Amino acid sequence: MQHPLNCIIVSLLAMGLSPLGFTEPVQANSVTSLAASCYACHGPDGNSMGGTASLAGLNASYFAERMQGFKDGSMPATVMHQHAKGLTQTEILALADYFATLPRKTPKPLPYQSFKGQP
């Protein structure tokens, strides 16, 4: 289920327009690399190794509401308010739609190997 507003905004973004009517250069690729910067905490392609939320396959309106809550302070947070406040509404909605398209997967186990003594 996608939030109808998201669909409109994504269409506007596709035309190179922001919901406010001015041109804002958010492209598919900027969403992809911005989303990828979340993987340090939320796992490869949004599939968390545990301890944080998996973002892959999250319902877009749920994601957008949570982020909006972190941004305006209505949703208590340990660290997410720092990030949510730094993102624009447009970016949050674009991320919401992007994460909704990613498949939820079980991440691969980490390739641990005993330490061999490198300098």
Q: Is 19 in the site for other proteins (CB under 8 A)?
A: no
71 conformational bin, left if phi > 0, alpha if psi -120 to 50, beta if neither = alpha
Task: Name the nearest CA neighbour of 38 among 2, 10, 67, 75.
Answer: 67
Please state the closest distance from residue 45 (CB atom) to other proteins, in A. Answer: 7
59 to 98: interface string for other proteins, x by CB under 8 A: ------------x------xx-xxxxxxx---x------x
Q: Containing H/E element for 11?
A: helix 4-14
Q: Is 116 in the site for other proteins (CB under 8 A)?
A: yes
Looking at residue 33, its amino acid is S
107 neighbors 43 (Cβ within 8 angstroms): yes
Q: Is 23 in the site for other proteins (CB under 8 A)?
A: no
Binding site for other proteins (CB under 8 A): 25-30, 32-34, 36-45, 48-52, 71, 78-79, 81-87, 91, 98, 101-102, 107-108, 110-119
